[in-house]
Copies of this chain bind each other. A is one copy, B any other.
């Protein structure tokens, strides 16, 4: 089956993996995309694999590796080690798709809880081109290990409002350029509507991603205004914000993507509410705003291919 809905556990942060898997199964969905900390809290990746399989679900992605921008050797070594662990965990829980949030500027490290010093505020730490170079190096270093484990590094362009503190990778075009030196089965990209809806090159870059066989995941949620006090929580339920879901979904299907569609919403109100309510609303909005356009794009592609 094409275009099946999946719950990213970022949408239900108060649930354990077991609770999330139960809620997903109870709602009639068949897929889940867990965050790594849930694996750790639940006793490791093997146990997590059992929980997911036991609920009759498959795993669509693992969130997340990345954070490859540290400039110091120790930070770099720790980042690579954490990513190798994430690659093993993805293989163990049975997904090929490891979502990669590449990391921000070293100057912003203190915002994420790392230790900070006056020196971290100097000009070198604001060198975004240098930081992007370190991401490219880190990906190159991880590719053989990912390939050995049958895991794909899925580059996630984040909205430019997070370029300083979360990801110096801001557009789908930049993600495709970064992926280009590597095989499509080992480095892919994710299209997350919240992050890319505004991009004037979006349609063209989704088509390119499809032609290059790089689309590893399609994630949907809305862009809400006003921005939340915690900017990370400005994501909304599909239909509540400003994203043109029918257009973007049609482009993704026309690019040949037929895989699962994940819903990942960081939003205080949605995160606090009952998971069953969230899942019900997700299903309704998906059926209304996303799925018809995916099917339309898929038929359009079929018609062209025939």
Name A's B-contacting residues (CB within 8 A): 105, 107-108, 111, 123, 126-129, 132, 159-161, 163-165, 168, 170-171, 173-174, 177, 197-200, 223, 225-227, 229-231, 241-244, 246-247
5 pairs of A and B residues whose beta carbons are closest in the complex: A163-B198, A164-B242, A174-B200, A160-B198, A161-B161
Q: Majority SS of interface residues in chain A? A: loop
Q: Is the CB of A244 within 8 A of B108?
A: no
Contacts of A173 in B (CB 8 A): 200
Chain B nearest CB: distance from A281 CB in Å? 17
Instruction: Tell me whether A225 and B160 are in contact in the complex, defined as CB-CB below 8 angstroms, given that A129-B247, A246-B123 are known contacts.
Output: no
Copies of this chain held together in the complex: 2
Which one of B161, B168, B230, B241 contacts A159 once the chains associate, using CB atoms below 8 Å?
A: B161
* CA of A132 to CA of B111, assembled, Å: 35
Closest residue on chain B to residue A132 by CB atoms: B200
Q: Is the CB of A200 within 8 A of B170?
A: yes
Contacts of A174 in B (CB 8 A): 200
Contacts of A163 in B (CB 8 A): 197-198, 242
* CA of A198 to CA of B223, assembled, Å: 19
* CA of A129 to CA of B250, assembled, Å: 14
* CA of A174 to CA of B246, assembled, Å: 23
Instruction: Tell me whether A198 and B227 are in contact in the complex, defined as CB-CB below 8 angstroms, given that A160-B159, A160-B161, A242-B105 are known contacts.
Output: no
Closest residue on chain B to residue A223 by CB atoms: B164
Beyond A108-B242, A128-B197, A129-B247, list 7 extra A-B contacts (CB 8 Å). Answer: A159-B160, A159-B161, A161-B227, A163-B197, A174-B200, A226-B231, A227-B231
Closest residue on chain B to residue A157 by CB atoms: B200
* CA of A246 to CA of B170, assembled, Å: 21
Chain B nearest CB: distance from A127 CB in Å? 6
* CA of A174 to CA of B111, assembled, Å: 32
Chain B nearest CB: distance from A54 CB in Å? 40
Contacts of A243 in B (CB 8 A): 126
Q: Is the CB of B159 within 8 A of A171?
A: no
Chain B nearest CB: distance from A42 CB in Å? 31
Q: Is the CB of B242 within 8 A of A127?
A: no
Closest residue on chain B to residue A241 by CB atoms: B164
Closest residue on chain B to residue A198 by CB atoms: B163
